[in-house]
């Protein structure tokens, strides 16, 4: 099992996550979950939109775990929706950081559009935290988004991939860029002992 640094997540990213969770789960649902994972301090009190350190990555991972546990069989779908809402928050609130302000995607071929938005996501994360290692990989002929510092599964162990929120964000990003729903699969996950979390871009669903 790889030993991982327990890095710090900045206020603006926690704010983005909590806002998206509230949008999907409702205020009550979110508050219950925050209490079960020891993050009571965020009940009715989100961190400001700045770059100061907020919580540890492992606490963020536990928040994801708490949502999964609270909703049982519905947890996975809930986290996928939170991930989608989180990408939309980025487009709405952080267009410049994401690199999408005033970009004419329609002029690019579809694959270029996907690469553009996924590179934008990786760069935005790296700008918010220099320790983040996220990149696009095409080495086996498939396009994939890879992060070796994924916070969602920090300190978690599982037989199967667990980064549903991330799958949701990548799905929404690709849909935003192409207008199509693509199959996104988490093929590798740090929680199962892999060296990184890897999200493979499959085929369009229709």
User: In angstroms, rounded to a whole number, what is the distance separating the alpha carbons of residues 204 and 95?
Assistant: 25
Interface with Zn ion includes 144 (CB under 5 A)?
Answer: no
Of 20-28, 84-92, 99-107, 143-151, which part binds Zn ion (CB under 5 A)? 143-151
Residue 105 Cβ, how far from Zn ion at the closest point, in Å?
A: 27
User: In angstroms, rounded to a whole number, what is the distance separating the alpha carbons of residues 128 and 131?
Assistant: 9
Binding mask 96-135 for Zn ion (x = CB under 5 A): ----------------------------------------
Interface with Zn ion includes 165 (CB under 5 A)?
Answer: no
Number of residues near Zn ion (by CB under 5 A): 5
Interface with Zn ion includes 201 (CB under 5 A)?
Answer: no
Which CB atom, from 100 or from 197, has the smaller least distance to Zn ion?
A: 197
Residue 199 Cβ, how far from Zn ion at the closest point, in Å?
A: 9
Q: Which residue shows structure tokens 């005033």? A: 102
| Axis-axis angle for helices 75-93, 164-178 (nearest 10) | 50
Give the residue from 82, 44, 88, 91 showing the smallest Cα distance to 63. Answer: 82
Residue 194 Cβ, how far from Zn ion at the closest point, in Å?
A: 9
Using CB under 5 A, which of 153, 165, 173, 174 touches Zn ion?
153
| Residue 204 CA: distances (Å) to CA of 76, 83, 119, 201 | 21, 19, 19, 9
Interface with Zn ion includes 63 (CB under 5 A)?
Answer: no
Which CB atom, from 100 or from 186, has the smaller least distance to Zn ion?
A: 186
| Axis-axis angle for helices 57-71, 75-93 (nearest 10) | 130
Using CB under 5 A, which of 9, 150, 167, 173 touches Zn ion?
150
Using CB under 5 A, which of 163, 165, 177, 184 touches Zn ion?
163
User: In angstroms, rounded to a whole number, what is the distance separating the alpha carbons of residues 63 and 56?
Assistant: 11
**Phi, psi dihedrals of residue 187, rounded to the nearest 5°:** -85, -30
- Using CB atoms within 10 Å of the CB of residue 41, give its burial: 0 to 12 exposed, 13 to 18 middle, 19+ buried: exposed
Residues in contact with Zn ion by the rule CB under 5 A: 150, 152-153, 163, 197
């Amino acid at each position: 099992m790889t030993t991982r640094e327990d890095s710090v997540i900045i206020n603006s990213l926690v704010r983005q996550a909590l806002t998206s969770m509230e949008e999907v789960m409702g205020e009550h649902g979110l508050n219950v979950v925050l209490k079960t994972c020891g993050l009571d301090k965020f009940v009715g009190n989100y961190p400001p939109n700045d770059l100061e350190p907020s919580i540890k990555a492992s606490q963020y991972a536990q928040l994801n775990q708490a949502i999964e546990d609270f909703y049982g069989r519905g947890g996975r779908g809930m986290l996928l929706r939170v991930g989608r809402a989180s990408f939309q928050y980025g487009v709405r609130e952080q267009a410049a950081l994401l690199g999408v302000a005033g970009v004419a995607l329609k002029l690019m071929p579809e694959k270029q559009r996907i690469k553009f938005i996924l590179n934008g996501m990786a760069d935005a994360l790296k700008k918010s935290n220099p320790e983040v290692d996220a990149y696009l990989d095409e080495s086996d002929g498939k396009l994939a988004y890879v992060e070796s510092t994924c916070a969602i599964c920090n300190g978690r162990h599982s037989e199967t991939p667990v980064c549903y929120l991330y799958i949701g964000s990548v799905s929404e990003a690709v849909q935003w860029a192409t207008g199509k729903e693509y199959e996104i699969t988490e093929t590798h996950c740090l929680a199962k002992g892999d060296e990184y979390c890897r999200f493979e871009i499959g085929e369009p669903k229709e």
